[in-house]
């Protein structure tokens, strides 16, 4: 199929056979896995995966590619959901889902947050993302890459960067390097579900002005005495706090009288 990559869908198709083999080896699929691929494109990962697994579910927004997939694969092997992954209800696919994909870089962050809602249905996830985004996802406190994305995702997942992918592995060649990240949902999020809305607000506020101290960024939430009770130095910046320390702040705030 001759398909012109569409910029609005962030399409860059993986063409490097050696990288594809490395990705499959990293995923380690088994025959009976409940595997889901986001954005299968022209089937660079789909084909080798179907040589191993009994069946594959795919979510694809581009209708031309959906028609192509219907022509290329049987319904017995491939179930195609013509949908926007950002709006898709992954819980309908069952439990112990293993989700993979070369995610469009222009929607990667909101898509990761969307997928976070389905942690109880997910066994693991392996995604190709912009290398800079992966570095932010796995960053540790007190580093330049550590920020809101790090904290919000590390509340839900254990993550590691497992493979770097050169730009030349794609067509068209993107202007950025890529990487593969492995994401394993935690048995329980660090922050209880009922506290997550407050957690999101506190983390966003704390990182809204990175160079300012917590004394300034969180003045709407914490008084000087509150920092003393929490045992936190108000002169620290958001990037210095671990996910557990953010969770401690949110737990403290949730117990304060209205």
Predicted confidence (pLDDT) per residue in 60-100, tens digit: 999 989 999 999 999 999 999 999 999 999 999 999 999 99
Its pTM surpasses 0.85: yes
Per-residue model confidence (pLDDT) at position 5 = 41
Band of residue 10 on the pLDDT scale cut at 50, 70, 90:
very low
More confident residue, 198 or 103: 198
DSSP state of 137: H
Average pLDDT, the chain: 91
Task: Answer for the pair 60, 39: CB distance below 8 angstroms, yes or no.
Answer: yes
Strand pairing of 178-185 and 34-38?
unpaired
Sequence ranges of the chain with CATH classification 1.10.8.100: 193-255
Per-residue model confidence (pLDDT) at position 13 = 65
3-state helix, strand, coil in the chain (%, to 5): 40, 20, 40
Per-residue model confidence (pLDDT) at position 41 = 85
Measure the CA dihedral 198/202/208/209, to 10°: 170
> How far apart, in whole angstroms, are the C-alpha atoms of residue 146 and residue 137?
8
Decide: helix, strand or coil at residue 192. coil
Region for 39 from its dihedrals, namely left if φ exceeds 0, alpha if ψ lies in -120 to 50, beta otherwise: left
Q: For residue 129, give both structure tokens.
A: 């993302």
> How far apart, in whole angstroms, are the C-alpha atoms of residue 78 and residue 40?
11
More confident residue, 249 or 169: 249
Give the residue ranges of DSSP H helices in the chain. Answer: 17-27, 46-50, 63-72, 108-116, 131-137, 148-154, 196-207, 214-217, 224-230, 243-255
Instruction: Assess if CATH 3.40.50.150 describes domain 7-185.
Output: yes
The CATH number of 193-255 is: 1.10.8.100
The tens digit of pLDDT for each residue in 40-56 reads: 988 889 999 999 999 99
Band of residue 9 on the pLDDT scale cut at 50, 70, 90:
very low
The tens digit of pLDDT for each residue in 144-201 reads: 999 999 999 999 999 999 998 877 777 766 667 889 999 999 999 999 999 999 999 9
Residue recorded with tokens 């993986």: 14
Angle at 76 between CA 74 and CA 81, to 5 degrees: 75
Sequence ranges of the chain with CATH classification 3.40.50.150: 7-185
């Amino acid at each position: 199929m001759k398909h012109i990559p569409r910029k609005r869908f962030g399409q860059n198709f993986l063409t490097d056979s050696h990288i594809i083999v490395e990705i499959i080896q990293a995923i380690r699929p088994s025959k009976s896995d409940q595997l889901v691929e986001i954005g299968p494109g022209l089937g660079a990962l789909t084909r080798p995966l179907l040589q191993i697994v009994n069946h594959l579910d795919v979510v694809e927004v581009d209708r031309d590619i959906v028609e192509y997939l219907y022509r290329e694969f049987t319904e017995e092997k491939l179930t195609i959901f013509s949908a926007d992954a950002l709006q898709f209800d992954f819980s309908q696919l069952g439990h112990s889902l293993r989700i993979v994909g070369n995610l469009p870089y222009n929607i990667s962050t909101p898509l990761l947050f969307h997928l976070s809602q389905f942690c109880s249905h997910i066994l693991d996830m392996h995604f190709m993302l912009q290398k800079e985004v992966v570095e932010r996802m796995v960053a540790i406190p007190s580093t330049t890459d550590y920020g809101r994305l790090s904290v919000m995702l590390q509340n839900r997942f254990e993550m590691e960067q497992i493979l770097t992918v050169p730009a030349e592995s794609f067509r068209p060649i993107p202007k950025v390097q890529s990487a593969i990240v492995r994401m394993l949902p935690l048995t329980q999020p660090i922050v209880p579900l009922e506290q997550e809305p407050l957690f999101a607000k506190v983390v966003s506020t704390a990182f809204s002005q990175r160079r300012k101290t917590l004394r300034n960024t969180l003045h709407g939430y914490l008084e000087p005495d509150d920092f003393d009770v929490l045992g936190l130095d108000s002169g620290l910046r958001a990037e210095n706090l671990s996910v557990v320390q953010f969770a401690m702040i949110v737990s403290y705030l949730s117990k304060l009288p209205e």
